[in-house]
Structure 1
Amino acid sequence: MRFATWEAEGRVQAGVVEAAGLHALPDGRSILDLVRAGLPAALEAGAAALDRPAVPLESVRLLPPLTPPTVRDFVAFEEHVEGMVLPSGETVPPEWYQAPTFYFTNPYALIGAHDDVAVPPGSQRFDFELEVAVVVGRDGASLTPETAREHVFGYTIFNDWSARDLQFREMAVKLGPAKGKDSATTLGPWLVTADELEPYRDADGFLALDMRVSVNGEQLGQDLLSNMGWPFEELISYASRGTEVRAGDVLGSGTCGNGGCLAELWGRHGAAAPPPLRPGDVVEMTVEGLGTIRNRVVEGLDLPPVAPARPRSRARMRAS
């Protein structure tokens, strides 16, 4: 089943997506409410919504399917890491193979499947990232990968918009990414329940979904989700290691390889080609079984430059 959240005539609703359009839940619940109720209860509520009149999809603005309490983004594709480190002459760091690395990103910066996305203030190297996200369906702590599969509610497309110049500056301080990543993340177009994607699972337990991205109609990247270094169950298990994950948490796969972002192509070509995203560019991503998101880049805010640090003081005591 596919669950969506949308806005029409100033009213936000949640419900089920099918061929005829959108069917609102009868009781005003959100998709996060459904996720927290558990997959069986959510499917039952979705089936009841199908008895209600359909709203044409083209008549609404799709919002992110849910409002997650946290958003983690992993870096689970070896080919992406390889392309990113090529300009420095390095290879994939051995630490990448030891455990699935992630960072926390901004849950307040989520945008819908067809919303405009603004260039972050001060950035000249704006980029996209083609990813898939898993949505956790049950609370849990220190989960095994086997148990983690029971905690999967569903999947959605995840575009981690990235200001590469800001990102690389702040990561040189051995921290981050932060402002290079927190301006916008597209989530959508809807949340597809896990049972719908089981036919795509390969013999190794990965979801073999075709992933494609184009800019202004020109395809720049294509990969299979099954090229991840770890399946989603391993990512959930690692995220919960020594702590907990909760229903509604979103975990991104990280950028796929073979052109899943511009920075990887820059690393392989040795130059900024294709060029960074500019206002007016349209980025479209399609993932098999999950749908299509399409966002237009627009001008961002023109803010004053950030003040540099003051020269450090060596004083150890207050002046008397």
Structure 2
Amino acid sequence: MKIRRLPDPASLAVLHEPSNQWISLRAALAAHPKLKSLTHLQSNLLALLAAGEQSRAKIVDVVDQAAGEGIGIATDPPPAIPYYPSSLRCFLGWEEHWINAAHGLVQRNLPISRPVIRTYERLTRKVFPLLRPGAAFYDHPVYYTGNHLTVIGDGEPMPWPSYTGELDFELEFGMIIAHPVRDATPEKAAAAIGGFVVFNDFSARDVQWDEQRRGVFGPVVKTKTFGSSIGSVVVTADEVLPKIDQLTASVRVNGELWSSTGTHGLRYHPGEVVAYASQSENLHSGELITSGTLPSGCGLELDRWIRPGDEVTLAIDGIGSVTNTVAEPG
């Protein structure tokens, strides 16, 4: 099921996939008074994601009928943030991204070291040790806690932080927790995921280099906390989890294709990721857990850089997309 929010009146819309039409859930349910028990789902995304199979099947039937009768059709609904996360945990999902990004940081900030690195990698056919993720990444999922209060929606402008000259995007997916868990097994943790959304983890790369070398808490403070964005469309987990490592993805800037990539090579399954986050800790409905950047999913890896006024669109097939225009520094 694909879900988005309609602005007025406040309602969720569900995609009727055979006709590719968005149907207002409020309007569809209003036409079926006998389904009054489901009206609490018409504007509550988290409740809809947590609804059981029987309730969701009824929603699908109602949407089918509404589409057939021309009820509640929302033509070209504007982009809108689907919900506001109650917390944000950002994981590292792909070793390839880390290695590519580390090479990019060194190339931009310490070019004198490049001959040594190239020689080592050519002779050993291995990645230079300091450019690999830390050892913990190979033992268990790793993450940092981001700023959920600066998450913006699809279509909103992303302010350029006044303290950076190197703003970057990061193509990720987000997982919305729908069921509370604690000390969960990977299987139970996977079942706690209600939906998926495209996520853009904007980053200040020059600040990252400084925080990584001289900071106390690592390169995830002012580098990351100023802003991120999520797409308008949320896709229920049953449509995404079975193919989580088979999705294709892309980056476009001002309509130009900058990168074609995908989710293949994900180090840990989403169930393992959520299970790790839940160790001796309660996870609540509404928390957002992100995947980390897909390989070749950021400008640092591509050595291509966005500027004020650029329109950045990140897309993952089977989930959706998020588009933001970069505002002027200020």
TM exceeding 0.5: yes
CA contact (8 A) 2:190 2:271 kept: yes
TM-superposed CA distance for 1:22, in Å, is 4.0
Q: How does 1:264-283 map to 2 (within 5 A)?
A: 264-265=301-302, 273-274=303-304, 276-283=305-312
Q: Is residue 323 of structure 2 the alignment partner of residue 294 of structure 1?
A: yes
Q: Is residue 200 of structure 2 the alignment partner of residue 159 of structure 1?
A: yes
CA contact (8 A) 1:5 1:65 kept: yes
Aligned partner of 1:56 in structure 2 is 75
Give, in whole Å, the separation in 1 of the partners of 2:231 and 2:285: 18
Q: 1:284 aligns with which of 309, 313, 316?
A: 313
| CA-to-aligned-CA distance 1:225-251 (integer Å, 9 cap, x gap) | 132111111110111012121222211
Give, in whole Å, the separation in 2 of the partners of 1:126 and 1:42: 41
- What TM-score results when the alignment is normalised by the length of structure 1? 0.80
Give, in whole Å, the separation in 2 of the partners of 1:192 and 1:40: 18
Task: Give 5+ residue unaligned stretches, structure 2.
Answer: 30-38, 111-116, 118-129
Q: 2:288 aligns with which of 234, 242, 250?
A: 250
What secondary structure does 1:295 align onto? strand
CA contact (8 A) 2:310 2:326 kept: yes
Q: 1:213 aligns with which of 223, 229, 251?
A: 251
- What TM-score results when the alignment is normalised by the length of structure 2? 0.78
Aligned partner of 1:5 in structure 2 is 5
Going from structure 1 to structure 2, the CA distance change for 1:12 and 1:185 (only over 3 Å counts) comes to farther
Q: 1:175 aligns with which of 217, 223, 226?
A: 217
Give, in whole Å, the separation in 1 of the partners of 2:57 and 2:224: 34
Q: Percent identity?
A: 27
Segments of 4+ moved more than 4 angstroms: 36-40
| CA-to-aligned-CA distance 1:81-112 (integer Å, 9 cap, x gap) | 11122227523132321221111112222222
What secondary structure does 1:169 align onto? helix
Q: How does 1:60-71 map to 2 (within 5 A)?
A: 60=78, 62-71=79-88
More helix by share: 2
Going from structure 1 to structure 2, the CA distance change for 1:42 and 1:188 (only over 3 Å counts) comes to farther
Give, in whole Å, the separation in 2 of the partners of 1:115 and 1:39: 34
Task: Give 5+ residue unaligned stretches, structure 1.
Answer: 266-272, 302-320
Q: Is residue 38 of structure 2 the alignment partner of residue 24 of structure 1?
A: no
Q: Is residue 58 of structure 2 the alignment partner of residue 35 of structure 1?
A: no
Q: 2:298 aligns with which of 254, 258, 261?
A: 261
- The number of residues matched between the two structures is 283
What secondary structure does 1:140 align onto? coil
Going from structure 1 to structure 2, the CA distance change for 1:33 and 1:300 (only over 3 Å counts) comes to farther
Aligned partner of 1:269 in structure 2 is none
Going from structure 1 to structure 2, the CA distance change for 1:40 and 1:159 (only over 3 Å counts) comes to farther
Q: How does 1:62-211 map to 2 (within 5 A)?
A: 62-86=79-103, 87=106, 89=117, 90-92=130-132, 93-171=134-212, 172-176=214-218, 177-197=220-240, 201=243, 206-211=244-249
Give, in whole Å, the separation in 1 of the partners of 2:86 and 2:236: 19
RMSD of equivalent CA atoms: 2.2
CA contact (8 A) 1:162 1:181 kept: yes
Going from structure 1 to structure 2, the CA distance change for 1:56 and 1:78 (only over 3 Å counts) comes to same
Going from structure 1 to structure 2, the CA distance change for 1:279 and 1:190 (only over 3 Å counts) comes to same
Of 189-198 and 245-254, more deviation after overlay is shown by 189-198
The AA in structure 1 aligned to 2:14 is V
CA contact (8 A) 2:166 2:204 kept: yes
